[in-house]
Amino acid sequence: MAKVKLFKASPLYDQYLVDFYLAHKEIDSVNYSQQYRLLMDDCYGWADFWKKNLEKIGNYEVFEAVTNAEKLQKQWAQEHGIVYGKESWLQDILEAQIEYFKPDVFFAHDYTNLTVSFRERIRDKFRIKVIIGWDGIAQNNPEVYRGCDLVLTCNENSVEFYRQNGFQSHFFPFAFEASIFDKLQKRKPFHDVVFSGSLFIGKNLHNQRIKFLSQIIQEVNLEVWASGLSRRSFLNPFYLSKKLGLDLSDYRGALKIIFMNHGPVFGLKMYQLLSDSKIVLNFHLDSSGNKAGNMRLFESTGVGSCLITDWKENISDFFEPDKEVVVFKTPGECADKVRYLLNNEPKRKEIAAAGQKKTLEFYGFEKRIKDFASLVFGL
């Protein structure tokens, strides 16, 4: 049987790419394959986990394009004699890569640049059989995914939303790539409790997360490694009061976040931070509603940290609360449980070990990809 050819087009966070290129000055003097390998080996986001695990199955061939990695994409174009426009380089090069690879399935992970019109054009031009969309932030926007044969999402509420709006949709939770664990330094954790993630103010973003962190940071020794912080916004108490409902006490915590933030960490540096932490604090995106399922659930448990996370009605579908991960409903409960865990190392290690066992056994990327492969064959 002929292999299914899948083209996956994904963006990476802009700040990550800036940091990555600054750390790898040698990028300018290496070819496309070497650039690609350096980028994937840093294990940011999904990296090449789809390609690696799908091709391991044996009946898939995968092309992984990082849509907004300008140096990488332009290097590919140079090596293949592709001419592209100054402003339209992203779509021009991507279209050339699709023509080169001739995929059966197009996975449009980049919903910002891969517009409806772009997807319609490449389907007709290159006779693509299946187009898959991805909603990883519960944006629940039918127009964004118009024309997709399947919409994957990590939020169960979103699955129902898209089905009610005429889409074929499937629940596809995040997972942990087990090979990451082998790339980390194994050492005794020296951070008490950390938060690593984004703190953007806006509808369906991180408003509730910011408010929560502003409260909890005044109760426990929390270290913050965050992106998205706007000093202009955080230093304006009236703005934060209006947007987030922060009172004066909460505002003191918001200031603490600003001035004590270590800055964002990505890829292997982030995984190492999680591994070096006794407790990792997780708080879901506002748009998640009453459903758990973000990446940090599996990243933190996968590396063996003790995870404490906000309660959601389906958390027990993934982990046994207070046995494999620790859950909280209020800042006060979170603070009490953090103190308990820091003062009870055997219990903390027991929960961390149980959480890691569950993730490696049930939520590994290899297993998740096998589910996806079966799904595509059924389309």
Domain of residue 221, CATH code? 3.40.50.2000
Q: What is the mean pLDDT of residues 131-141?
A: 94
Q: What is the mean pLDDT of residues 79-94?
A: 97
Q: What does the pLDDT read at residue 244?
A: 82
Q: What is the mean pLDDT of residues 56-81?
A: 96
Question: What CA–CA distance (Å, rounded) separates 344 from 364?
Answer: 29
Q: What is the mean pLDDT of residues 344-365?
A: 97
Of 26-35, 243-252, 279-288, the one with minimum mean pLDDT is: 243-252
Q: What does the pLDDT read at residue 144?
A: 95
Sheet of strand 326-328, all strands in order from the earlier edge strand to the far edge: 222-227, 191-198, 277-282, 306-310, 326-328
Q: What does the pLDDT read at residue 240?
A: 80
Whether residues 185 and 309 share a domain: the answer is yes
In this prediction, what percent of the chain has a pLDDT beyond 70? Answer: 99
Whether residue 233 has pLDDT greater than 80 = no
Q: What is the mean pLDDT of residues 280-307?
A: 95
Q: Look-up: residue for tokens 């390609």?
A: 51
Average pLDDT, the chain: 94
Q: What does the pLDDT read at residue 229?
A: 79
Whether residues 114 and 186 share a domain: the answer is no
CA-nearest of 376, 319, 377 to 152 is 376
Whether residues 169 and 186 share a domain: the answer is no
pLDDT band at 300 (very low <50, low <70, confident <90, very high): very high
Tell me phi and psi for residue 309, to 5 degrees. Answer: -135, 155
CATH code of the domain in which 80 resides: 3.40.50
Q: What is the mean pLDDT of residues 128-146?
A: 95
- Strands 105-108 and 130-135, bridge-based pairing: parallel
Whether residues 227 and 97 share a domain: the answer is no
Q: What is the mean pLDDT of residues 38-63?
A: 95
Q: What does the pLDDT read at residue 232?
A: 77
Q: What does the pLDDT read at residue 61?
A: 96
Q: Where does residue 12 fall: left (phi above 0), alpha (psi -120 to 50 degrees), or beta otherwise?
A: beta
Whether residues 170 and 245 share a domain: the answer is no
Whether residues 342 and 221 share a domain: the answer is yes
Which residues are CB-neighbours of 344 under 8 A, at least 6 positions away? none
Whether residue 161 has pLDDT greater than 80 = yes
Tell me phi and psi for residue 192, to 5 degrees. Answer: -70, -65
Whether residues 140 and 65 share a domain: the answer is yes
- β-partners of residue 209 are none
Whether residues 237 and 345 share a domain: the answer is yes
Whether residue 176 has pLDDT greater than 70 = yes
Q: What is the mean pLDDT of residues 239-246?
A: 80
Whether residues 288 and 345 share a domain: the answer is yes
Whether residues 221 and 99 share a domain: the answer is no
- Strands 191-198 and 277-282, bridge-based pairing: parallel
Q: What is the mean pLDDT of residues 129-134?
A: 96
Highest mean pLDDT among 90-104, 198-212, 241-255: 90-104
Q: What is the mean pLDDT of residues 146-173?
A: 96
pLDDT band at 379 (very low <50, low <70, confident <90, very high): low
Question: What CA–CA distance (Å, rounded) separates 159 from 149?
Answer: 14
Q: How many domains does the chain have?
A: 2
Q: Is the pTM of this model over 0.85?
A: yes
CA distances to 90, 140, 193 from 249, rounded to whole Å, are 46, 35, 21
Q: Which domain holds residue 254?
A: 179-362
Whether residues 13 and 73 share a domain: the answer is yes
Q: What does the pLDDT read at residue 1?
A: 63
Q: What does the pLDDT read at residue 242?
A: 80
Whether residues 22 and 162 share a domain: the answer is yes
